[in-house]
Chains A and B, each alone.
Chain A
Amino acid sequence: MSSAHTKTEHGHTDHNYLNHGSGIWSWMTTLDHKRIGLMYFATVATLFLIGGFFALGIRLHLAKFGAEPLLSPDTYNKFMTFHGAIMVFMVIIPGIPAFLGNFVLPIQLGAKDVAFPRLNLASYYIFIAGAALAASSMIFNQVDTGWTFYTPYSTAKTSNGVILLVMGAFTMGFSSILTGLNFIVTTHKLRAPGMTMDRIPLMIWALYSTSIIQILATPILAITLLLIGAEKTLGVGIFDPDLGGDPVLFQHFFWFYSHPAVYIMILPAMGVISELITAFSKKTIFGYRAIAYSSVAIAAVSFLVWGHHMFVSGQSTLAGIIFSIITMFVGVPTAIKLFNWISTMYRGTVTFEAPMLFALGFMFLFTIGGLTGVFLASTGMDVHFHDTYFVVAHFHYVMVGGTLMALMGGIYYWFPKMFGRMTSDLGGRISWVLIFTGFNVTFFPQFVLGAMGMPRRYFDYLPEYTNLNQISTVGSWLIGLGFLVGLITIIHGIFKGEKASDNPWGAKTLEWQTSSPPPHENFTTTPTVTAGPYDFR
């Protein structure tokens, strides 16, 4: 037991956070971090469906089943932009921290709420405002720049819809900063008695490191996006070669945020995996400190590697070599985590419920994503692979195979805590099989396509790429089906799922020591922590 608090309520108390206040207004104005987490869940899930629709559209077009192309080149570029912008800014970045993080972080710390509950609610509405602003560009003035908004195309050539989309992303970045700030202060100031920094669960270490990146990197994105807006409206010239500006400076600014942002996406996922692996191995985690500090190490290194996105942008060879070497350093803390998870499973009592399958799926897919990253970090090979489908496959393995796998695993794992009901384990497993298989069928061929030289972002391709593209498209339907099954499983679980006990998985962290669903203030009495978070005996 990690906690020695006395009053664990078993069974279901009548009063919990879900029925603490009723009606839609009590949700809209709630200051409860658990409810805000669930509101993020609903929002992100909806946006995920929209982003997924664009993804399936892109894949269907690229399969070239008919004689006529499905999308016009212009529409294709817009689909690609909206897919990327929605998935990155509105799904993967907020997905785990804002949804799962909001839900579990205070409970895992033994706190009653986050440090600034009203700011937390404000972050949610700022996120909604940003998403609405970005979405309005879908209606008024569609954007075809890709989610990276590369200049000078975005500033000189394309429509003014870019202004709406970048201001939407700016606003959502503000929300991201405020959430990160809230988490850092909560972790510093609101830990339960006895919860020292080396007793906080690894999920918290991951969220804490993520928050540091959110605070240090997002302002750079903010100023970059503001400059695009200024460039577009005033023609200030900072990125415009015509006025003496430099588009490559944009790339530096952009990737100075967007590379760390990759770790905003993946670090919380790693936190989820640490929780899942220990809970389903029934064993104390191997190398707690190594995993904890490796999260901070990844956060630190993440700021020094942005130049690997720009090996072919004309930066100096020396810069390329330095960025290449530092990039490979990222592999060290990542591998530490992976080896520690495997060591945790070794001689553990491993069971394979749906969340654990997603955790294993994460480890498998993320390893492929990570190892192919080494190819891209090597300057020589990157010249060959740059802007090909190899890159597309690589980052989908990392972001989708990594983050979305962890997100799904995390949802199934914490679902009983959120709703006091279980999801169907069979449903969870079926969704895992479909997503995992579909994912590999979709993206593995893209490694081959990239190595064969198929460029990314293009509307059309040479005939020799047809077969692999069609396989890839079929795989995308499996992924879509898998998420659909997952969605049905979750909705079924909310309304019809079996009643869950307080600790259905036999996990040791604090959130499992309170009732399911937890009361409004998380614990009936503040827990006192006497040992580390994963003390299985």
Chain B
Amino acid sequence: MTSVSSSSEFHHQHHFKSAEHQYASSKQGIWLFLCTEILMFGGLFVGYLIYHSLYPTVFKNGSETLDWKMGAVNTVVLLVSSFTMAAAINYVQRGLHKIAAIMLALTIACAAAFMVIKYFEYSHKFHVGTVPGKFSLVDPSCAAGGKRATCESKIAALLKNPAELEKNHVSAEEVSRLKAVISQPKWEMFYGFYFVMTGLHGIHVVAGALMIFWIFIKTLRRKVGPEYYTPVEGVGLFWHVVDLVWIYLFPLLYLVG
């Protein structure tokens, strides 16, 4: 009674009148779900707005330590992936399975490229110590609830040590930016937002890539096609939302100083 159906002989589920009826219902469901995704990120954007207005200097200095070039590359990567995703939907609708599968594979490759770039960004942040609250401190007893004000941060420790700086590829320009960051109290706040927002977005990228892989398999096995492409379109819409969230995250975190 449910639908594992192939494109050539597609049956809609028993409680729908027709395939069109089922398609319209599924699409409404996906859009409602995407609303909840946007609202969930909305909570973070509200928080960002509040703290940005409370600590403008912290957010300015913080955003200057982010590598806007990497962010920009990632933006392009995601935009390209949205294009390949849209193309994949189009090809599935036209029954061109082979090129659709190629497009889906390219989308997954873009997702992977995004995460690899993210990995480089994150690992550099971990090395220089621009991380949220608890992990920014050298003395673990401070992280466990001691007085933070009297604790030395990892950046401060790093900046005192030229050998370490060189090992971690920290340029002179970056040294001055890092110094500007720790000159402000509550500087960890910016990285709290940075890691939570990009982290949650990253989880969505991975989840999206897994779903695209699922429809990639479906496409190869010709379970979708001109008569039935709801899952392809649904995953595509999800992927566009993931892209859309990044399009807001990138200027907010990397460019707005």
Contacts and interface: CB of A to CB of B under 8 A. Distances in A.
B36 A189 contact: no
B56 interface: no
A491 interface: no
B148 A243 contact: yes
A245 B54 CA distance: 10
A216 interface: yes
Given A189-B25, A226-B200, A243-B186, A219 B36 contact: yes
Contact of B189 (A115, A182, A185, A245): A245
A188 interface: yes
B56 to A, nearest CB: 13
Nearest to A180: B32
A306 to B, nearest CB: 13
B12 to A, nearest CB: 12
Nearest to B186: A244
B10 interface: no
A189 B28 contact: yes
Contacts of A117: 2, 13, 15
Interface string A87-100: 00000000000000
B91 interface: no
A319 to B, nearest CB: 15
Contacts of A184: 28, 32
A181 interface: yes
Interface stretch (B43-51, B155-163, B175-183): B43-51
Interface string A169-210: 000000001100110110011100000000000000000000
A502 interface: no
Interface stretch (B100-108, B191-199, B207-215, B247-255): B191-199
Given A184-B32, A220-B40, A236-B133, A230 B54 contact: no
B40 A236 contact: no
Contacts of B47: 227, 238, 249, 253
Given A236-B195, A240-B133, A243-B192, A219 B37 contact: yes
A255 to B, nearest CB: 13
A364 B186 CA distance: 52
A177 B14 CA distance: 24
Nearest to A240: B133
B133 A243 contact: yes
Given A116-B29, A237-B188, A244 B54 contact: yes
A383 interface: no
Contacts of A112: 14-15
Contacts of A118: 2
A238 B50 CA distance: 10
B43 A219 contact: yes
A177 B41 CA distance: 15
A237 B24 CA distance: 43
B192 A238 contact: yes
Contacts of A144: none
Nearest to A115: B25
Contacts of B199: 230
A244 B189 contact: yes
A286 B145 CA distance: 61
Nearest to A211: B32
A445 B24 CA distance: 54
B21 interface: yes
Contact of A224 (B1, B13, B14, B43): B43
A163 B257 CA distance: 34
The contact size tier of chain B is 35 or more
Q: Tell me if B's interface is mostly helix, strand, loop or mixed.
A: helix
A31 B189 CA distance: 47
Interface string B19-31: 0010011101100
A234 B133 contact: yes
Given A226-B200, A244-B189, A190 B15 contact: yes
A177 B227 CA distance: 29
A274 B41 CA distance: 37
Contacts of B186: 237, 243-244
B43 A237 contact: no
A223 to B, nearest CB: 4
Q: Tell me if A's interface is mostly helix, strand, loop or mixed.
A: helix
Given A185-B29, A226-B200, A237-B188, A113 B133 contact: no
B42 A219 contact: yes
Nearest to B58: A244
A222 interface: yes
Contacts of A243: 133, 148, 186, 188-189, 192
A230 B24 contact: no
B37 A189 contact: no
A219 B195 CA distance: 19
Interface string A377-416: 0000000000000000000000000000000000000000
Given A117-B2, A189-B21, A242 B148 contact: yes
A235 interface: yes
Interface in A311-334: none
B39 interface: yes
Contacts of A253: 43, 47
Given A116-B29, A182-B29, A185-B32, A244 B55 contact: yes
Contacts of A182: 29
Given A189-B24, A243-B188, A521 B29 contact: no
Contacts of A521: 14-15
A354 to B, nearest CB: 33
Contacts of B21: 189
Nearest to A178: B33
Contacts of B44: 223
Contacts of B195: 230, 234, 236
A219 B39 contact: yes
A215 interface: yes
Contacts of B1: 31
Given A189-B24, A190-B15, A235 B132 contact: yes
Given A182-B29, A190-B15, A236-B192, A244 B51 contact: yes
Given A235-B132, A235-B134, A521-B15, 18 more contacts: A181-B29, A184-B28, A188-B25, A190-B15, A219-B36, A219-B40, A220-B43, A226-B196, A230-B132, A234-B133, A235-B143, A235-B192, A236-B196, A237-B133, A238-B193, A243-B133, A244-B186, A249-B50
6 contacts: A216-B36, A219-B37, A219-B43, A238-B47, A244-B51, A245-B51
In the A-B complex, the 10 residue pairs with the smallest Cβ-Cβ separation, listed nearest first, are A235-B134, A244-B186, A235-B133, A236-B192, A223-B43, A112-B15, A219-B39, A219-B40, A236-B132, A113-B15
Interface of B: 1-2, 13-16, 21, 24-26, 28-29, 32-33, 35-37, 39-44, 47, 50-51, 54-55, 58, 131-135, 143, 145, 148, 185-186, 188-189, 191-193, 195-196, 199-200
